[in-house]
Every structure is written in C-alpha cells, then in structure tokens.
Amino acid sequence: MIPESLVLQATQLLKNAKHTVALTGAGISTPSGIPDFRSRGSGLWERYNPMEVASLSAFRYDPEKFYKWIQPLALTMVRAEPNPAHIALAQLEKAGRLAGIVTQNIDDLHRRAGSEVVYEVHGHLREATCVSCYSCHPTGSFIESFIETGATPHCPDCGGVLKPNIVLFEEQLPHDVFYGATNIISQSDLILVAGSSLEMAPVALLPVGPLNEGARLIIVNHYPTYLDERADVIFRQDVAVVLPHLVSEVLGE
C-alpha cells in the first residue's frame, strides 16, 4: 500500500518542477525479470566475484569466461520487456515533465519503453567493439546466435574478439555520455531516483551538486541510500507500482 500522503507530496514536487531528471538503477528492471547485482539473497555479486568475470583485466585474459558468465544475463535482457515503471517515465517525458533519464542499466528497456533522452552511463549491448582493430559493430547480427551457443563473437573485419559496449570494472565511463548526464542533472531542480541504491560512484555522486543548490529529491527504492536524509519523499514500495501511480496523478489520468 502506497501512503497517500507521500503520493501527494511527490505529485506536487513533480508538478512544480521545471527540470526533472530521473536517475535509475537495476531496481527499476527487476520487475522485468532482470536480476540486480547487490540485493541480499539474489544479487549477481553474491554468486560471482565481479573482478573475476566482469573486469577489463578478466576480459582481456579470458574473454570466453566473460561470455560464459554473461550469456544467461544477455538472454534475460533480450527477452525482457519494459515494465510499468519504464513506461511511466516515458509517458512523463512525452508530457514534457521529465527532461531525461540517467541510467546505470545496460538493458535498453528505457529506450524500448519509448524514452528518448537517455544517458546510458554504463553502456549498452546494442554494439560491440573489436579489441584488435577497434571497429564498432551492431550486435543485432550475432546476439541471437551468441545466446543460443555461447560462442565468443569475433570481428567480421579482422577476426579479433568483440567486446560489448558496456563498462566493465576497471574501465572509465564513456566521456560524452557521462558529460551529458552530468550536464542534464546539474540543471535539475528535482531528481527522481528510481531503483538505485546509489552505491556506484561516480554516478551516485551526481545528485549532490544540484541538491547543494536547492534541488529537491524523490527516492523510490527498496533499500536505504546515502541520500535518504536529504530526500523530500522516500518510497520503499515496488517501483513498478509507485511510478505509474505518481505519473497518473501528475498527468491527471
């Protein structure tokens, strides 16, 4: 049950804001069946050491091990569908009440839900880059065969190993995307954190500047964050329930 007093507060913040930005994490996609990384009992990092399977060093040393690890996750992401939380944010953007989304997710569900201004700061699976000749290739031509066989994909130009354009541990974030994310959040007067525990720097630190300048903050997340004490409204309920309810109230539907 969502407390109506919190709904009222959040609705007024969303209606009054001139530049709202959503910051989303893995928790917004768990209702779509995609596991997150840190939840107690189900997070991926409880079963795997990230430095052994998802670091740049590990990929360079043993790309086959990386692809064996990511195969079932890639299958889940490709088969997943946007849930009501993704759709609600797309509706909010279409209505002119959301400037854009900064997401830590690589699952492409925001774009598939209809959102247009999306900064994927940890990359995506739509493309892959050759580690030998650095040519970039759409993954659409081989993703299905990879999901079926688990075979390491190779560059059609030179035969080198292809690395998906996602940010692994030990890698820097893509400069242009992170610059855009920083810029759009720096202009915000309201930040909506949805499904992120705000544990991964530097993305987790992006709201601090705007908050210091007077921006307001709504958090929708099952677990505490380091910014809870600065939030105007906190929802601990399911993000796929809270966001559609809020958007419906804001848009008068």
Domain definitions of the chain by residue range: 1-34+83-122+172-253, 35-79+124-166
Position 253 scores a pLDDT of 63
**Amino acid identity for residue 24 in this structure:** T
Judged against a pLDDT cut of 50, whether residue 42 lies above it is answered with no
Give the pLDDT confidence score for residue 148 in this predicted structure.
Answer: 87
Q: Across-strand partners of 162? A: 130
Signed CA dihedral, 137, 123, 87, 188: sign only: negative
pLDDT at 147 (0 to 100): 87
Tens of pLDDT, residues 104-155: 999 999 999 999 999 999 999 999 999 999 999 999 888 888 888 888 999 9
What pLDDT score does 43 carry? 43
List residues bridging with 137 in a β-sheet.
128
What is the reported pLDDT for 39? 47
Residues 6+ apart with CB under 8 A from 213: none
Cβ count within 10 A of residue 227: 19
Residues 150-169 have pLDDT tens digits of 889 999 999 999 999 999 98
Please report which confidence band the pLDDT of residue 47 belongs to, taking 50, 70 and 90 as the band edges: low
pLDDT at 145: 86
Q: pLDDT at residue 36 above 80?
A: no
DSSP letter assigned to residue 252:
T
DSSP, res 26? G
Q: What is the mean pLDDT of the chain?
A: 91
137 is catalytic: no
1-34+83-122+172-253: which CATH topology?
Rossmann fold (3.40.50)
Q: Residue 71: its pLDDT value, please?
A: 87
- Answer for the pair 75, 147: CB distance below 8 angstroms, yes or no: yes
The token duo for 215 is 């921006």
CATH for the 35-79+124-166 domain, from 1.10.645.10, 2.70.70.10, 3.40.50.300, 3.30.1600.10: 3.30.1600.10
Using CA atoms in the order 126, 26, 149, 61, what is the torsion angle rounded to 10 degrees? 90
Phi first, then psi: what are they for 21, rounded to 5°? -125, 135
DSSP conformational letter for 190: E
Residue holding tokens 């559609």?
A: 244
Rounded to whole angstroms, the Cα distance separating 177 from 205 reads 16
Residue 90 CA to residue 80 CA, distance in Å, equals 17
Name the active-site residue from 86, 110, 122, 124: 122
Dist CA 90 CA 88 (whole Å): 5
DSSP 101-148: EEE---S-HHHHHT--SEEETTEEEEEEEETTT--EEEGGGTHHHHHH
Taking residues 184-201, report their average pLDDT: 96
At 45, is the pLDDT very low, low, confident or very high (cuts 50, 70, 90)?
very low
pTM of the model: 0.92
Largest CA distance in the chain: 60
Tell me what the mean pLDDT of segment 50-60 comes to.
80
- The whole-number pLDDT of residue 136 equals 95
